Amino acid sequence: MEIYNFSAGPARLPKEVMKIAQAEFCNFQESGSGILELSHRGKFFSPVIERAEANIRELMGISDDYAVCFVQGGASMQFAMIPMNLLNGGTADFIDTGVWSNKAAKEAKLFGTANIAASSRESKYDHIPAASEWKLTPNASYMYITSNNTVAGSEYIPLPKAPAGVPLVADMSSDIMSRVVNVNDFGLIFAGAQKNLGPSGVALVIIRKDLLERTGENVPTMLKYSTYTENGSMFNTPPTFAIYMLALVTDYFKQQGGIAAIEKVNIAKAEKLYGYLDSTDFYKTPVAKENRSRMNVVFRTPSDELDAKFVKDALPHGLTDLKGHRLVGGCRASIYNAMPMAGIDALIEYMKEFERLNG
Ligand SMILES: Cc1ncc(COP(=O)(O)O)c(C=O)c1O
């Protein structure tokens, strides 16, 4: 039986990619060693990191005005690195749409003023506040958004723009490369890799080069973006295996026809699942219809007990990791790029049966 893992992250990766990694694990390109065992400065790894960056640039249409780097410490490290490098005692505007933007604002307060320009916290992050309600600071150092809210299950569709002259900073951890993005609208984009791109621990950072000049002298070496951009992300030993997996995953995205083709499939997957959710009163999704995430579909059965039973009874059907985030409870199906339509079909079949038996 095929197992469909709906984990929010680390999450399912394309099976084809996992098989390549398995085949090469002990002997990478006839080197006699696995990629885990090879020097990051040697002739085998250099083309891998170059390919990862070239793939990302091609897939996302990134111009030479931007640097692409790989930083350890996950997405959470970026919550601190961004204000450390870009804030310098100034004010940044945060659109607070979930736990992750809230955590990012908390870190920013250590380095300047974090203005919560809008928040949906009081209604349990069930929507994204409309841009007309945002109370933005004139000439803010930057404006910060979480493009997809992994826990709450909401997503900016379309993505917003920042006022002219204000860099837009986006945490795209849970929807990076799931849809076409105009990188030129952003000052900085970052994403923890463990949802759509590869293993946990590494963050992809795309930064407009002029912003590199903002960093003060007192920022420690490993926390300065310029350390990464000036050294090809190899000032110290980079997370080689994670970067290798990122190269394989992005090779695969190219073979799928690129991000526009992948986005089409993601829209179809999400429409099918929400379409089913809307067709029954048994399951309810708390998120405002216009803000529903295409990546993390959050829903509830009529009771907490049935939510728990739903998650447990799914296992014999090969459907795993359907539990909602520990902060919000309920159920959540994370359907990133690597989840095929067959996984959505299997989930809907199970949901119908569960309703029939428990409704
Ligand atoms: C949107 C978002 N930002 C940040 C994080 C934190 O990522 P990490 O665990 O890599 O620090 C997560 C993790 O799930 C996330 O979903």
Question: Ligand 1: which atom is nearest the Cα of residue 151?
Answer: 16
Note if the pTM is more than 0.95.
Answer: yes
Active-site residue list: 100, 171, 195
What domains can you pick out in the chain, each with its CATH number? 15-255 (3.40.640.10), 258-358 (3.90.1150.10)
- Rounded-to-integer distance, Cα 36 and Cα 96, Å: 39
299 sits in which H/E element: strand 296-299
Alpha carbon nearest to ligand 1 atom 1, residue = 173
Helix/strand/coil for 189: strand
pLDDT at site 327: 86
Question: Ligand 1: which atom is nearest the Cα of residue 98?
Answer: 1
The residues near 59 (Cβ < 8 Å, ≥ 6 apart) are 177, 250, 253, 254, 258, 259
pLDDT at site 359: 87
Q: What is the pLDDT along the chain (359 residues), one digit of tens a residue?
A: 999 999 999 999 999 999 999 999 999 999 999 999 999 999 999 999 999 999 999 999 999 999 999 999 999 999 999 999 999 899 999 999 999 999 999 999 999 999 999 999 999 999 999 999 999 999 999 999 999 999 999 999 999 999 999 999 999 999 999 999 999 999 999 999 999 999 999 999 999 999 999 999 999 999 999 999 999 999 999 999 999 999 999 999 999 999 999 999 999 999 999 999 999 999 999 999 999 999 999 999 999 999 999 999 999 999 999 999 988 899 999 999 999 999 999 999 999 999 999 98
Question: Ligand 1: which atom is nearest the Cα of residue 192?
Answer: 10
- Rounded-to-integer distance, Cα 249 and Cα 58, Å: 13
> Which of 7, 81, 95, 100 most suits a substitution to test ligand 1, by most atoms within 8 Å of the C-beta?
100
Task: Check pocket membership of 9 for ligand 1, CB cut-off 6 A.
Answer: yes
- Rounded-to-integer distance, Cα 262 and Cα 253, Å: 8
| Cβ pair 144, 95 in contact under 8 A | yes
Q: How far is the CA of 98 from the centre of ligand 1 (A)?
A: 11
